[in-house]
Amino acid sequence: MMEAPLTTVDLATLTAQLRALRDEALPRIAGAAGLAALDELDLHYLGRKGGALSGLMRGIGALPVEDRPRVGVAVNEVREAVESALVEARGRAGSAALEARLAAETVDVSAPARVIPRGTLHPIVETIARITEIFGQFGFVTYEGPEVETDVTNFQMLNIPPDHPARDLWDTMYVDIEGALLRTHTSPGQIRVMHAEQPPIRALLPGRCFRYEAIDASHASEFFQVEGLMVDEGTNLADLKGQLVEFAHAMFGEGTPTRFRPGYYPFTEPSVAFDIGCLVCGGPGCPACGRTGWITILGAGMVHPVVLQYGGIDPERYQGFAFGMGVERIAMLRHGITDIRVFLDGDLRFLGQFR
Ligand code: PHE
């Protein structure tokens, strides 16, 4: 655009063209928006090959020798003016960009911290941990048995033959494999531990159990038990009672009243029910215990000699006791929960309270 044909060049024209170039360039540079636009103007005016200033300088060669230095001075002045305008404009554009970035990326150190949600132990898991901790202090070791059991270990080796009326105590859910079922209690674990270990045995077996139940506030078709088994020489009912009383005091507090009542299970003889004094009321009309003031927390008894035999243990030499407690019942008493269904609902409003 500013390039003049070589033939017509003279000093006055070239000087005027240089001035015109400068007068055009400076306001354009001053008004340019952003670094990219400045780069473009830089190239346009000062570019070595296609730049406007180099175009004009090509005319110098056609001037008389004595005029050339003067034009050289003028060219340098224009170049310097354009260059320093560019430097200044770039500085401004750069700090504007930096300021915009700083404004956009500001960290508000006064903002409240973001709360990272943390999980908690499920009250059932936590209650099982407490139970195994207490019995752990009596030397009991924790084992686990399978949830899908066999009719043989869940019933027959527990002295409950097929068609025995005692089976009515456990409404059973079966699976589609001959002889297999979902364990109705953790007691088959007694047989498994006796097969795996030699006396003396002190075993705890926590786990999920299944029953075909009509579901209500105190019945679930899926629930947890902790089984206990002790087998040794000279084990007797007083040992059982002593350990259970100690357990009740550790779990529910020193002054908690306890009692043994006669019970019935085919795999223990004698059998008992173990009650603690109602923690909710201690009086008639109580929502937890009804009117009795007592709440049963487990079934127990001396292991039936036949069961010891099925477990490969000589009942002439060894005796044992066993108990099975419902974990939900204990968790409900500890936390004042009145509906068993909340445990498996997965409702975070309930679960989030156990922190
Ligand atoms: N398995 C019994 C039940 O589920 C409880 C129990 C266990 C009773 C061990 C005696 C001994 O009801």
State yes or no: pLDDT of 287 exceeds 80: no
Closest by CA to 267, choosing from 297, 308, 217, is 308
Q: What is the DSSP letter of 161?
A: -
Mean pLDDT is lowest, of 42-56, 209-223, 232-246, 305-319, for 42-56
Provide the pLDDT confidence category of residue 268 given band limits of 50, 70 and 90: very high
Mode of pairing for the β-strands spanning 258-263 and 222-232: unpaired
Q: Record the tokens describing residue 75, joined without a space.
A: 């060219």
Which ligand 1 atom sits closest to the C-alpha of 228?
9
> Best mutation site among 265, 268, 275, 297 for ligand 1, i.e. most ligand atoms within 8 A of its Cβ?
265
Residue located nearest, by CA, to atom 12 of ligand 1: 299
Phi and psi at residue 199, to the nearest 5°: -65, 155
Closest by CA to 24, choosing from 82, 71, 74, is 82
Closest by CA to 201, choosing from 211, 190, 209, 212, is 190
CB of 228 shorter than 6 A to ligand 1: no
State yes or no: pLDDT of 40 exceeds 60: yes
pTM: 0.69
Which ligand 1 atom sits closest to the C-alpha of 185?
4
Q: Residue 173: which H helix or E strand, with range? A: none
CB of 181 shorter than 6 A to ligand 1: no
Closest by CA to 54, choosing from 62, 63, 45, is 45
Q: Residue 341: which H helix or E strand, with range? A: none
Which ligand 1 atom sits closest to the C-alpha of 303?
11
> Best mutation site among 155, 187, 327 for ligand 1, i.e. most ligand atoms within 8 A of its Cβ?
187
CB of 265 shorter than 6 A to ligand 1: yes
CA dihedral sign of residues 56, 57, 63, 69: positive
